[in-house]
Amino acid sequence: MELCTSSVSGSVQWSRISAFDYRTRSHGYASSSSWVSQRRRKTSFYVMNAASTGALPPTKKLIPRANVRNISGDKPSSALEQLDIERGVCIPFRKYTPEMVRNRVLGSRGSVLSLASRGVEIIWKLGLYWSALMYDFLVGRDEEIVPFRARQLRNLLCDLGPSFIKAGQVLANRPDIIREDYMNELCILQDDVPPFPNQVAFSIIEEELGQPLERLFSRISSRTIAAASLGQVYRATLRETGEDVAIKVQRPGIEPIIYRDLFLFRTLASFLNGISLQKLGCNAELIVDEFGEKLLEELDYTLEATNIEDFLENFKDDPTVKIPQVYKQYSGSRVLVMEWIDGIRCTDPQAIKEAGIDVEGFLTVGVSAALRQLLEFGLFHGDPHPGNIFAMRDGRIAYVDFGNVAVLSQQNKQILIDAVVHAVNEDYAEMANDFTRLGFLASGTDVSPIVPALEAIWQNSAGKGLADFNFRSVTGKFNQLVYNYPIRIPERFSLVIRSLLTQEGICFTLQPDFKFLEVAYPYVAKRLLTDPNPALRERLIQVLFKDGLFQWKRLENLIVLAKENVSKMSSNPALKKNSSQIERNRQMEKKLDLTDTIKDGARLFLIDAGIRRQLIMAFTEDSKLHVEELVDVYRLVEDQIDIPSVALEVIQDLPSVARDFMLSWSDSILSDRQY
């Protein structure tokens, strides 16, 4: 939801309120910081043992949708349990369960009559639309009239209310369910929703906060700043402090409508399970449960306030990212008051340039912030459309609207990194298995038919190089794959895809020749080389070895890219303008810190016989010593490493290494004696 832009704020009409009636330290991939958000959420979910997903049922053939007969295995005890397994989390306290929705709806007075009338309304309106589609197909004009039918569908969803508007927003990011031309039209629903009357909104604020509006705010805008499917936003000034704030107000009477529609959605889904299993490889109830879970989370503004606090904690040491403060004392379950962000909309390149903002530096900050959310924190903004991202005049990037955020478990993040490693190593069979582990394919599915398609997509896209690579072209090809095979895109990954596509689109709007991957690759390279987490160390080794041979050139490329990331971030204009914050929080990196990597490499060489054998072979491949390659690598890092301090740390670590070496040696002796 759009909270502010300079152009909007300049035209807002203010109303004086008088007497009218009317809530650890960052260490990368597996860091304590990456679980800050989950620290607050520890009553909501726990990380599952990865072994819980290890056992797979007998394999099932993956065949094109047109020929699918039955690809289902043993039905899980519930769709929600299947979602938990895919996510790698267990959620003991849910805001949504099918049973809770059913009990809430059927327990209300007049529920049968309300459900019947609403059901008739939905069936009648959707039936008329479906009949029009069938007529188009029979007369052979179904393709030429698609733009009109897509607009008709968007208007129909608006007419059916907030549940259907949210469903349309979800469908706008689900190529596994709806075709691309319809997706593009439904994207309009993210911004273009009619507001509800001011007097109703002001009454909700007073009811929720328990005080007259004029006692809390000295002024409030007479028009909404933004309106979305679940609520709308006003600009106001706190009477007590004089601070400008954004007030987000939930639409009136929306909760019972949402519950009623979810009950009807899931009832309908139970009749569509067979078709859904054929088309998507999962039952329709699972899709409704994913949708219902996120929708009820967005209805609770206290949860959104917690999301904001989590983002503030994650980015507290990053002077390039602005997250608004939340005022919990003025907020509740239907009202959220947060700091007003006076920024420039990201789709207005002229205004950004006129403000003196370095466009390339701003985009570099934005890409890095997005990748940190995804790969470091595991908590990312699920709706980063242009109305929710702003350029601050000091070069920082600002995010607003945290109702739709998604969490990636440690297990999911590791599998994503695995997929990247398998893509780099061109191991497409394992990449296909990664899709199964992430929930795109039903467990036990035979992935062999999808391997050639994945290979064709990746080689066609990666072969063009960084200059021509873009996520939209890859996603377009992947959408065709999704449409032809029983692949379902899990809701959290549809948000990941939308997030990457949207932010790449913003980059192209501001700077058409901006190369998204030229920023993303150096970031990933730096994490692979410097992250202390053992999981990433293992994946670094996988990247550096291919078919048993050490890839010297790949190591050199990683170092060059990682140095580029450090250089770009340390020289970013946003850092210079926020130098006081840097001094307060932490000194930004000026060099590529490889100290931990060197220490871990030395440790692995001494205690891991397999790694030691591989490295010795790397130095002696093709019956020659690879001294020249080693010298080339050293020249790349010599200006980045303080040799005396690294040597001192390695020496200090020797007792621990010696202990581990002895334990490893004794284990190998005992193991040999057993045989």
Q: What is the mean pLDDT of the chain?
A: 75
The angle that helices 471-484 and 451-462 make with each other, rounded to 10 degrees, is 170
From the list 261, 318, 383, 418, the catalytic residue is 383
What does the pLDDT look like over 388-440, one tens digit per residue?
Answer: 889 998 889 999 989 888 888 888 887 887 887 777 777 888 888 888 888 88
pLDDT band at 23 (very low <50, low <70, confident <90, very high): very low
Per-residue confidence (pLDDT) for residue 387, from 0 to 100: 75
Per-residue confidence (pLDDT) for residue 30, from 0 to 100: 36
Q: Chain-centre distance of CA 88, in angstroms?
A: 16
For CA atoms 54, 58, 64, 70, the dihedral sign is negative
Please enumerate in sequence order all residues whose Cβ is within 8 A of that of 54, keeping only pairs 6 or more positions apart, or say none.
none
Instruction: Answer for the pair 257, 102: CB distance below 8 angstroms, yes or no.
Output: no
How far is residue 426's CA from residue 604's CA, in Å, rounded to a whole number?
26
Domain boundary assignment for the chain: 103-190+255-293, 345-514
For CA atoms 473, 477, 478, 483, the dihedral sign is positive
Residue 408's nearest CA partner among 496, 487, 471, 478 is: 496
- Residue 39 scores a pLDDT above 50: no
- How would you classify residue 408: left for phi > 0, otherwise alpha for psi between -120 and 50, otherwise beta? beta
Do strands 397-399 and 321-322 pair parallel, antiparallel, or not at all (unpaired)?
Answer: parallel
pLDDT band at 56 (very low <50, low <70, confident <90, very high): very low
pLDDT band at 573 (very low <50, low <70, confident <90, very high): low
What does the pLDDT look like over 192-226, one tens digit per residue?
Answer: 678 899 999 999 999 999 999 999 999 999 999 98
pLDDT band at 182 (very low <50, low <70, confident <90, very high): confident
317 is catalytic: no
Q: Which residue has the tokens 């398609």?
A: 453
Please enumerate in sequence order all residues whose Cβ is within 8 A of that of 502, keeping only pairs 6 or more positions apart, or say none.
384, 385, 386
Burial class (CB in 10 A: 0-12, 13-18, 19+), 194: exposed
